[in-house]
């Protein structure tokens, strides 16, 4: 049976490559939580199932070969498949590579065990043609097989998750001097978290959840591996894609203070309705203890009109709705160097302090106001607040202005929501020079996706001199929006990947040019293009 073993050399190589890709997408789609991975497969049917492997499933010649001939043809065919996938992956743009976590390693083990069992059965049937077809069938549907492996592993993962959850909750309970601050919203969470952390650390020892650790697993990792007895405050970013997920996070870390940034339509597809989004964000405020404090945005009608059941103390911040705001900003001056504004404290006989920050955009003023409000409540002086705001560092990929060859780049790549995109365009509009927008459009907006992306295109047309769109299909509605505003067709170009667009900019660079890099989408929205 030596020929039977040898026939799987290239099959095995190809299996590893394809499993890597399947697990990468499963990981980016939150391990199919809320069927997110299956929905991704459904929207990328051609990319995932219209592949070279289909040729094997319809090869009639295979049935007429002897066992050695079958083994040679099988090996040869998957050798071609392996070379094809290697070349394809070299050309693909990968923004977030597969992270080899413990969970991924366990999924690997389960997935390969399923293949090994079928391979072993093949020995019993002397390399039967049906074994080859079954293994070919399993490999063709590899991206579905990892879902089965994920399902089989779920009891183990649930047990492991409960262990780390108990460990995190016990640790938090032992740190009785520590107070937890939760931050949620449809957008602005990460910026608000980092701003608050910088402001609080002027006086206290605060720890913010790192990177995008805003899920139960992320917060458990933060508590178990980063939090220590010297921390006074734990600033926990809280993300959600469906109802009850913020409540789950609150049950884990028990925040005393809460900030809601802005409520919009992000993840509308998974939430199902605007009402569900609003209720989910307010799970944070509803979970606060009686002696806690909630910071809410008076310029957000969804927050103002929400009937709060919790009688917790609320501090309102704003820019436009001054009547309802306890703390508000005016005299706002935005330049490419940063922002200055006056902050009014109604609760202190309308005291006024002037703040300076390197951050750009109106959205960041709201985030800073929330930090000022909570910082003031926690005892920071005028000077400490002003110093903290001045020292706030720009967040990576969020309205971050930096030099780019002979041009300037406004890096807002992690922003993909309607209001954030509009504010970023307002920032670009302030710049004196040629204005270029590079965008992939907005995602996960449900039934409103077409309408909102068209509106984005119309807004871009009012600001930009040149537009570089990433993905023909992905940006169809933006193109319609540009045309609605009679934006000249020669002034917008379509590229397959962000790398192609950046290469074009470098080749055609001009001085005094400002480039807004907006909504660089994750690998799950890659249209299968080249670098």
Classify residue 110: in a domain, yes or no: yes
200: domain CATH number is 3.40.1190.10
Q: What is the reported pTM?
A: 0.80
Three-state SS sequence of 263-311? CCCCCHHHHCCHHHHHHHHCHHHHCCCCCCEEEEECCCHHHHCCCCCCC
Provide the 10 A C-beta neighbour count for residue 344: 18
Classify residue 530: in a domain, yes or no: no
Domain co-membership, 244 together with 332: yes
Classify residue 171: in a domain, yes or no: no
Q: What pLDDT does residue 328 have? A: 97
Domain co-membership, 463 together with 335: no
Classify residue 240: in a domain, yes or no: yes
Last residue of a domain, one of 89, 122, 155: 155
Domain co-membership, 143 together with 204: no
Alpha-carbon 281 to chain mean position: 17
Domain co-membership, 317 together with 429: no
Tokens 């969470």 found at? 189
Q: Which two tokens stand for residue 171?
A: 């640790």
Specify the 3-state DSSP secondary structure of 351. Answer: strand
Domain co-membership, 348 together with 423: no
Classify residue 270: in a domain, yes or no: yes
Q: Classify residue 49 by burial, with Cβ atoms within 10 Å: 0-12, 13-18, 19+.
A: middle
CA atoms within 13 A on the CB side of 423: 20
- What contacts 373, CB < 8 A, 6 or more positions away? 295, 315, 317, 326, 327
452: domain CATH number is 3.90.190.20
Domain co-membership, 141 together with 185: no
The total number of structural domains in the chain stands at: 3
Q: Which two tokens stand for residue 492?
A: 């917008």
Classify residue 82: in a domain, yes or no: yes
In which domain, by residue range, is 42 found? 2-155
Last residue of a domain, one of 155, 188, 212: 155
Domain co-membership, 225 together with 370: yes
Domain co-membership, 357 together with 415: no
Helix, strand, coil % in the chain, rounded to nearest 5: 55, 15, 30
Domain co-membership, 43 together with 120: yes
Distance in angstroms (rounded) separating the CA atoms of residues 482 and 462 = 9
Classify residue 293: in a domain, yes or no: yes
Q: What pLDDT does residue 531 have? A: 38
Last residue of a domain, one of 391, 411, 438: 391
Domain co-membership, 420 together with 345: no
Domain co-membership, 415 together with 489: yes
Ranges in the chain, pLDDT < 70:
1-4, 57-63, 91-95, 122-127, 266, 268, 416, 519-531
Classify residue 454: in a domain, yes or no: yes
pLDDT tens profile 44-58: 888 888 888 888 766
Domain co-membership, 266 together with 290: yes
Asked if 426 and 432 count as a contact pair (C-beta separation under 8 A), the reply is: no
Q: Which two tokens stand for residue 191?
A: 């910026």
Would you state the torsion angle of the CA atoms of residues 461, 464, 466, 468, taken in this order, to the nearest 10 degrees?
-80
């Amino acid at each position: 049976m030596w020929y039977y073993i040898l026939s799987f050399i290239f099959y095995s190589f190809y299996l590893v490559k394809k499993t890597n890709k399947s697990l990468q997408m499963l990981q980016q789609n939150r391990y199919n939580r809320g069927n997110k991975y299956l929905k991704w497969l459904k929207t990328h049917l051609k990319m995932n199932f219209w592949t070279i492997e289909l040729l094997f499933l319809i090869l009639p010649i295979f049935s007429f070969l002897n066992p050695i001939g079958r083994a040679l043809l099988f090996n040869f065919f998957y050798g071609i498949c392996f070379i094809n996938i290697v070349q394809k992956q070299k050309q693909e743009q990968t923004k977030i590579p597969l992270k080899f976590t413990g969970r991924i390693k366990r999924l690997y083990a389960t997935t390969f065990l399923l293949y090994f069992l079928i391979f072993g059965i093949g020995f019993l049937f002397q390399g039967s043609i049906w074994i080859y077809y079954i293994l070919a069938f399993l490999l063709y549907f590899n991206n579905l097989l990892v879902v089965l492996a994920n399902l089989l592993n779920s009891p183990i993962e649930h047990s492991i998750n409960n262990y780390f959850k108990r460990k995190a909750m016990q640790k938090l309970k032992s740190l009785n001097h520590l107070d937890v601050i939760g931050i949620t919203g449809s957008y602005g969470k990460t910026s608000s978290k980092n701003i608050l952390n910088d402001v609080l650390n002027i006086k206290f020892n605060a720890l913010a959840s790192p990177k995008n650790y805003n899920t139960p697993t992320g917060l458990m990792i933060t508590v178990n591996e980063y939090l220590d007895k010297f921390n006074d405050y734990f600033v926990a970013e809280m993300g959600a894609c469906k109802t009850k997920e913020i409540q789950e996070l609150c049950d884990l870390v028990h925040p005393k203070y809460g900030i809601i940034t802005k409520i919009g339509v992000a993840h509308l597809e998974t939430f199902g309705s605007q009402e569900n989004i609003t209720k989910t964000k307010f799970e944070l405020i509803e979970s606060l203890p009686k002696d806690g404090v909630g910071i809410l945005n008076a310029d957000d009608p969804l927050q103002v009109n929400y009937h709060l059941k919790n009688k917790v103390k609320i501090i309102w911040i704003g820019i436009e709705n001054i009547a309802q705001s306890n703390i508000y900003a005016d005299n706002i001056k935005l330049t490419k160097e940063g922002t200055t504004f006056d902050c009014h404290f109604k609760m202190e006989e309308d005291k006024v302090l002037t703040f300076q920050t390197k951050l750009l955009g109106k959205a960041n003023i709201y985030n800073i106001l929330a930090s000022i409000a909570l910082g003031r409540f926690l005892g920071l002086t005028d000077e400490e607040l002003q110093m903290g705001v001045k020292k706030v560092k720009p967040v990576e990929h969020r309205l971050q202005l930096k030099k780019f060859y002979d041009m300037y780049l406004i890096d807002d790549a992690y922003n993909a929501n309607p209001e954030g995109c509009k504010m970023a365009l307002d920032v670009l509009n302030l710049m004196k020079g040629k204005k270029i927008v590079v965008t992939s459009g907005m995602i996960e907006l449900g039934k409103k996706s077409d309408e909102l992306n068209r509106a984005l295109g119309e807004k871009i047309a009012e600001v930009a001199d040149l537009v570089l769109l990433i993905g023909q299909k992905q940006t169809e509605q933006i193109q319609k929006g540009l045309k609605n505003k009679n934006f000249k067709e020669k002034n917008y170009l379509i590229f397959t990947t962000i790398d192609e667009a950046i290469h074009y900019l470098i080749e055609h660079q001009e001085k005094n040019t400002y480039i807004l890099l907006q909504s660089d989408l994750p690998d799950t929205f890659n249209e299968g293009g080249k670098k």
